[in-house]
Amino acid sequence: MKKILVFLLVLPLFSVAQSNKLLNGYVYGMVHDGVLGGGIIGNVSLLHNMIAIGPGVDITSYKDHVMVPVFADVKFKHRFEHIEPYITGQFGFNVYSVSHVAEVDAEGGGQQPVTFNESGKYFYGVGAGAIWHFANIGVFASYIYRGYYYRYPDQIKLDGAVSFGDRSVNVSVITAGIVF
């Protein structure tokens, strides 16, 4: 949560870079595996506007609970007059924490119920999109395939201790919004 607050506090600093067009802001709505959400990304342009790197944050849900992915966004793009296609990579942390009960395999055989805190770990995403530029703003649409990792119980040991591992979930993310 602290990472999100720091990001929101430094957001006004991006307005200085925006006046020189070194920064593009992306504000968008999204469909995250069938669930509506939204987000914002601030990218700094490098190497003659062909690479863009910056922070991003989404607000969506997973299993009917709020999920906030905080990530670094990297875009490789090339502009042809008004249209600018790009490929993107996203890497970050998934802010998600929900208490669950699950049946877990016991080392001695059978299954036992375990109450645990399912929490988000890291995630990655890769995708493509295109921007249509007008005078000072533009519109964009993209598709991103994301892989999330969550902390999940693997097995109950003979001494009663629970060992935890990763549970992966893959989702499709469709975004559309405004570039300024």
Identity of residue 65: H
Long-range contacts of 101-106 (CB under 8 A, 24+ apart): 102/152, 102/153, 104/153, 104/154, 104/155, 104/156, 104/162, 105/154, 105/155, 105/156, 106/155, 106/156
CB 115 within 8 A of CB 156: no
Q: What is the pLDDT along the chain (180 residues), one digit of tens a residue?
A: 566 656 655 665 555 545 456 788 999 999 998 999 999 999 988 888 899 999 999 999 888 899 999 999 999 999 999 999 999 999 999 988 888 888 888 877 788 888 888 888 999 999 999 999 988 889 999 999 999 999 888 877 767 778 788 889 999 999 999 998
Cα–Cα dist 21/17, whole Å: 6
First to last CA, the chain: 26
Backbone phi, psi, residue 3, to 5°: -65, -40
Find out whether 147 and 173 touch, Cβ atoms under 8 Å.
no
Q: Cβ(52)–Cβ(44) under 8 Å?
A: yes
d(CA 7, CA 3): 6
- Helix %, strand %, coil % of the chain (to 5): 10, 75, 15
Nearest CA to 127 out of 180, 164, 169, 90 is that of: 90
